[in-house]
Amino acid sequence: KEAREQEKAREQEKAREQEKAREQEKAREQEKAREQEKAREQEKAREQEKAREQEKAREQEKAREQEKAREQEKAREQEKAREQEKAREQEKAREQEKAREQEKAREQEKAREQEKAREQEKAREQEKAREQEKAREQEKAREQEKAREQEKAREQEKAREQEKAREQEKAREQEKAREQEKAREQEKAREQEKAREQEKAREQEKAREQEKAREQEKAREQEKAREQEKAREQEKAREQEKAREQEKAREQERK
């Protein structure tokens, strides 16, 4: 009977050892499974980090391309403005040359009119002298009286001619003043047009600068959002790691 009890005790001890071995094997399998899960989580975190870095690189490349495009557009606008300015300057030069030619033509016409008037005056004087000489020969006595009357008439005619000449000169001066005033008005209009073009160019430049600032601000906001997302992912990973460590500690505690 004692031998049977001892045999039974050995069987129970053996069963307990086997049960203990099975528990240890089960614990090892669970630990191995947790390690594999942890490795998978870390690999997944690395893949996500790599994907975020690639996305960030694509965003930066896109931002550089947009900046390059804006700079090229700005250069084209500036070149266009320079060409327009050059065209306006050439137009202004042509207008000034035309005005000088017109002024020169008016002066030449004026000189011809004056020369013609002098020739006509000279011809009239010569004709008048011949008539007076003839009249003096025919009637010396009457000519003396007539000469006095004619002298008086000549003085009056001369006064009228001088008055007429002054009026003509005055008219020419007024015409010249009107032409000069017109030229000044045209010059003023061209200057105002030039000022409007320059103001328009400045407004366009200002708008491009504001657009550039908005794009940069947007890029900074996107970068900030990506950093925050990365921080959240890292925090989540730390929480998961902490949870696994706690789970591991509980398992060890249970063993």
Q: Give pLDDT tens digits for 142-176.
A: 777 888 999 999 999 999 999 999 999 999 999 99
Q: Which residues are CB-neighbours of 30 under 8 A, at least 6 positions away?
A: 251
Sign of CA dihedral 206, 211, 215, 217: positive
Q: Which residues are CB-neighbours of 251 under 8 A, at least 6 positions away?
A: 27, 30, 31, 34
State the average pLDDT over residues 198-206: 96
List phi, psi (to 5°) of 202. Answer: -65, -40
> How many other CB atoms are there within 10 angstroms of residue 181's CB atom?
10
State the average pLDDT over residues 54-69: 94
* pLDDT category of residue 255 using cuts at 50, 70 and 90: low
Return mean pLDDT, the chain: 93
Which pLDDT score is estimated for 139? Answer: 76
Q: How far apart are CA 84 and CA 78, in angstroms?
A: 10
Which pLDDT score is estimated for 28? Answer: 93
Q: Give pLDDT tens digits for 31-54.
A: 999 999 999 999 999 999 999 999
Q: Give pLDDT tens digits for 210-230.
A: 999 999 999 999 999 999 999
Q: 33: left (phi > 0), else alpha (psi -120 to 50), else beta? A: alpha
For residue 134, give Cα distances in angstroms to 139, 143, 146: 9, 10, 13
pLDDT over 90 at 251, yes or no: no
Q: Which residues are CB-neighbours of 106 under 8 A, at least 6 positions away?
A: 175, 176, 179
State the average pLDDT over residues 133-146: 80
Q: How far apart are CA 37 and CA 55, in angstroms?
A: 27
Which secondary structure element, helix H or strand E, spans residue 52, and what is its range?
helix 2-138
Q: Give pLDDT tens digits for 79-96.
A: 999 999 999 999 999 999
Please report, rounded to a whole number, the percentage of residues in the chain having pLDDT higher than 70. 99
pLDDT over 80 at 246, yes or no: yes
Q: How far apart are CA 61 and CA 20, in angstroms?
A: 61
